[in-house]
């Protein structure tokens, strides 16, 4: 996604000193925008409820801006405008902090890149105040809680399988009394994916290549221990009893049992629906899209012309919630799956003109 070149106001920033580089993290003390007081509580199929301190924040990226949904579920408000070359990897912490990567453009000499694109991780409060800007080649990250972020650093590499050459992984505390504190996690030399698992308070880090047969490692926050695991890909359900593996053809997702690390047979889903990912809730719920009929083959010589006019409008589809515990459908609804994220960790959908953070009842 290419951002528009829009200037932003200058702000005073106080420097936060990190363990490895004093210039990597900066804290901002001057707000970019007035507080918006934004929050959203949504449910399917019930309507939006009123604002409370625990309601989810919903955010999205648009060219040149990061936007937050207002309490009506119908309007978006820009909380960050930027002239960044690209903005991606948006997320919202469980406490409502918004994070994303902003990229500076590459420096080109002739046909070669003299300097590759440079990312920085930006952290905002829900009202748009800049909480921190973390430089140093952050390529991947995950929230641990509202104050801690685990980051993977590396150098951009076009044509690389992962898009970058990994250099290390560390845990960053944004609220340390003396400024941000960064703790390096040693033992995973080529980290390419990192997730926080709330069910066992651990970070799961995937290495680019197996080490003694293991690709995914568990970093236990309680004692800073690192152990190899048989996990194939760290995409866990809320309980940790299952995880998802993207394997085979595009959009092919397989459910694995965490205790046995074997695929789970789901005849009620396979062939009739496409697994999108995990749905929220205390149980182990899958969000499944009903299989779409295949389009008829095009006539010989018939070409398809696709014009890029900006962010696409997501199509309206039929979805259902599948309960892995009971092996049955829990609920169904018709909506569009929005390109947005919520602090609840739930998929964001649009139904009857309202954007909502999916909630299982």
Domain range annotation of the chain: 13-265, 266-300+311-361
- 264-276 residue pLDDT tens: 999 989 888 999 9
Residue 45: beta bridge partners? none
Q: How far is CA 264 from CA 199, 270, 277, 286, in A?
A: 20, 11, 15, 13
The pLDDT of residue 214? 97
The 10 Å CB-count burial string (b at 16+, else e) for 280-299 is bbebbbbbbeeeeeeeeeee
SS (H, E, C) 106-170: CEEECCEEEECCEEEEEEECCCCCEEEEECCCEEEEEECCCCEEEEEEEEECCCCCCCEEEEEEE
Q: State the Cα–Cα distance between residues 337 and 353, nearest whole angstrom.
A: 13
SS (H, E, C) 172-224: EECCCCCCCEEEEECCCCCEEEEEEECCCCEEEEEEEEEECCEEEEEEECCCC
Tokens at residue 262, please?
């074997």
Residue 117: beta bridge partners? none
- 106-165 residue pLDDT tens: 888 887 778 889 999 999 998 899 999 999 999 999 999 988 999 999 999 888 889 999
Grade residue 14 by pLDDT with cuts at 50, 70 and 90: very low
In this structure, are residues 30 and 12 in contact, taking their beta carbons and an 8 Å threshold?
A: yes
The answer, yes or no, to whether residue 16 has pLDDT greater than 80, is no
Query: Mean per-residue pLDDT for 251-271?
Result: 93
When the candidates are 3.40.50.300, 2.130.10.10, 3.40.50.261, 3.40.50.150, the CATH number that belongs to 13-265 is: 2.130.10.10
The answer, yes or no, to whether residue 30 has pLDDT greater than 70, is no
Grade residue 228 by pLDDT with cuts at 50, 70 and 90: very high
Grade residue 281 by pLDDT with cuts at 50, 70 and 90: confident
The pLDDT of residue 12? 28
**What proportion of the chain, given as a percentage, has pLDDT over 70?**
79
The pLDDT of residue 51? 36
């Amino acid at each position: 996604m290419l951002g528009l070149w829009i200037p932003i106001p200058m702000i005073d920033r106080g420097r936060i000193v990190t363990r490895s580089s004093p210039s990597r993290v900066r804290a901002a003390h001057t707000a970019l925008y007035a507080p918006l007081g934004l929050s959203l509580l949504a449910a399917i199929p019930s309507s939006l409820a009123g604002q409370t301190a625990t309601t989810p924040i919903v955010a999205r990226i648009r060219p040149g801006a990061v936007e937050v949904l207002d309490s009506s579920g119908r309007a978006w408000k820009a909380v960050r405008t930027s002239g960044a070359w690209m903005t991606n990897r948006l997320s919202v912490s469980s406490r409502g902090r918004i994070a994303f990567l902003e990229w500076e453009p590459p420096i080109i000499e002739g046909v070669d890149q003299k300097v590759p694109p440079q990312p920085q991780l930006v952290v905002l409060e829900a009202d748009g105040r800049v909480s921190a800007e973390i430089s140093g080649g952050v390529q991947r990250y995950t929230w641990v809680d509202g104050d801690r972020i685990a980051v993977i650093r590396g150098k951009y590499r076009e044509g690389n399988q992962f898009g970058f050459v990994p250099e290390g992984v560390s845990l960053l505390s944004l609220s340390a009394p003396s400024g941000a504190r960064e703790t390096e996690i040693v033992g995973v030399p080529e980290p390419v994916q990192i997730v926080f698992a709330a069910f066992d308070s651990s970070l799961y880090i995937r290495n680019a290549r197996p080490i003694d047969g293991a690709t995914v490692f568990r970093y236990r926050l309680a004692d800073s221990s690192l152990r190899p695991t048989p996990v194939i890909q760290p995409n866990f359900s809320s309980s940790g009893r299952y995880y998802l593996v993207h394997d085979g053809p595009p959009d092919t997702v397989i459910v694995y049992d965490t205790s046995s690390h074997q695929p789970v047979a789901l005849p009620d889903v396979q062939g009739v629906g496409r697994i999108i990912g995990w749905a929220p809730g205390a149980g182990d719920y899958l969000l499944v899209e009903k299989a779409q009929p295949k389009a008829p083959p095009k006539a010989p010589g018939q070409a398809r012309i696709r014009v890029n006019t900006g962010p696409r409008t997501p199509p309206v589809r039929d979805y259902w919630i599948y309960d892995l515990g009971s092996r049955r459908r829990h609920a169904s609804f018709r909506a569009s799956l929005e390109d947005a994220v919520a602090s609840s960790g739930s998929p964001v959908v649009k139904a009857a003109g309202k954007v909502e953070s999916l909630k299982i009842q």
